[in-house]
Amino acid sequence: MRETTLSPSDLVLTTIITDSTASDGPVESLPGVSRLGLDALVEQASEAAALGIPAIALFPHIDPKLKDADATEALNPDGLVPQAIRRLKRDVPEVGVIVDVALDPFTDHGHDGVMDGDVIENDRTLDLLAKGAVILADAGADIVAPSDMMDGRIGAVRAALDEAGHDRTMILSYAAKYASSFYGPYRDAIGTSSALRGDKRTYQMDPANTDEAMHEVAMDLAEGADMVMIKPGLPYLDICARVKAEFAVPTFAFQVSGEYAMMQAASANGWVDGDRMLLETLTAFRRAGCDAVLTYGAIRAAKLLRG
Ligand code: PBG
């Protein structure tokens, strides 16, 4: 009678990577998640592969000294993320590598775009995103995932990839990404929360909107997105269901840091059964129509599923 299935092959392992031993180790606001150096990353990726998880998504915590207003480090071909991609492709080639294309890990103000005073400069940002995406594809990324919510970014990234000969690199667009309170632990994890000036409401979506999400998805598909993502996940399952029903394209959801941290905190207090809750939430994503879920709990869930 069961209508929905959940298997490790539906999951993407979300990881935080770091370039220094000073910052590796547990993220306080994200229990169960550690910043990983490259050796530890390879170890986790191998474990994920052995459990049948098809892909891993990378988010970098870089040395604060490398951050500046123009996100210069995002264009360093020997930066942390390109190095991590090359290591994974060499040591765990069976795992697909998904990388964020966004400037926030690299800007000293913590925004996803370059700024003129208090204003995010959409079009100047597009140029940097496109160049950054080519560097990530050069390093071997299978899927690039623009997560910045600038208008026109999918078209700009697709054109730049094609021009550089990366016509087979896929684009997973964070198409409907809300200006959410659920990203707090992630911002701690990559070291932007203390620096972030203001909020991201001028480019991320209003949690009150649903038609706007359809416009965003339609634009990104028209510009060349291969897959679309809804983010956060659980509070936005109605959006997931509507996107899947209206567009019938590969639809991903991100069980973001705040969602994972809430479950971990309640579970640590003995208030809920954390393992059951993790599998229940992941099943709910599948029931809503999601083809894949990015989660910090992918390895844990895969182990539970394998019994
Ligand atoms: C921004 C970005 C965010 C996340 C990943 N990339 C959100 C933000 O800071 O606005 C959140 C991931 C999470 O909360 O787990 N490029």
Residue 1 belongs to a domain = no
Write down the pLDDT at residue 196.
81
Let me know if residue 213 belongs to a domain.
yes
For position 21, what pLDDT does the model report? 85
Question: What are the angstrom distances between the C-alpha of 217 and each of 102, 120, 201?
Answer: 18, 21, 18
Q: How far is the CA of 283 from the centre of ligand 1 (A)?
A: 23
- Considering the domain boundaries, does residue 64 fall inside one? yes
Binding pocket residue ranges, ligand 1, CB within 6 Å: 100, 102, 104, 112, 147-148, 183, 186-187, 200, 256-257
Encode pLDDT of 201-260 as tens digits.
989 999 999 999 999 999 999 999 999 999 999 999 999 999 999 999 999 999 999 999
pLDDT above 90 coverage of the chain, percent = 93
- Active site annotation includes 231: yes
Exposed (0-12), middle (13-18) or buried (19+): which is 204, by Cβ within 10 Å? buried
Q: Which of 67, 177, 200, 244 is catalytic?
A: 177
- Tell me if 58 is assigned to some domain: yes
Task: Specify whether the CB–CB gap between 11 and 298 falls below 8 A.
Answer: yes
Query: Is 2 part of any domain?
Result: no
Distance CA 141, CA 134 (A): 9
Q: Do the beta carbons of residue 101 and residue 128 sit within 8 Å?
A: no
d(CA 105, ligand 1 centre) in Å: 10
Question: Is residue 89 flagged as an active site residue?
Answer: no
Token pair recorded at residue 123: 């079009």
1 Cα: distance to centroid of ligand 1 (angstroms): 37
Give distance in angstroms: CA of 183 to centre of ligand 1.
Answer: 6
Q: How far is the CA of 206 from the centre of ligand 1 (A)?
A: 15
Question: Is 181 contained in some domain?
Answer: yes
Question: Among candidates 166, 177, 93, which has minimal Cα distance to 133?
Answer: 166
Closest CA to 65 of 132, 16, 19: 19
pLDDT digits (tens, 9 = 90+) for 258-298: 999 999 999 999 999 999 999 999 999 999 999 999 999 99
Position in ligand 1 atom list of the atom nearest CA 104 = 16
| Mean pLDDT value across the chain | 96
User: How confident is the model at residue 23, as a pLDDT?
Assistant: 82
Spot the catalytic one: 67, 200, 231, 244. 231
Q: Is residue 3 part of a domain?
A: no
Whether 73 is covered by a domain: the verdict is: yes
pLDDT score at 22: 82
Distance separating alpha carbons of residues 19 and 26, to the nearest angstrom: 15
Based on the structure, what is the number of domains in the chain?
Answer: 1
Q: pLDDT value at position 125? A: 95
pLDDT of residue 118: 87
Q: 112-150 pLDDT, tens per residue?
A: 999 999 899 999 999 999 999 999 999 999 999 999 999
Q: What is the CATH number of the domain that holds 73?
A: 3.20.20.70
Ligand 1 atom having least distance to the Cα of 105: 16
Domain interval for residue 80: 8-305
pLDDT tens per residue, range 43-72 = 999 999 999 999 999 999 999 999 999 999
Which of 147, 196, 231, 263 best tests ligand 1's pocket when mutated (most atoms within 8 Å of CB)? 147
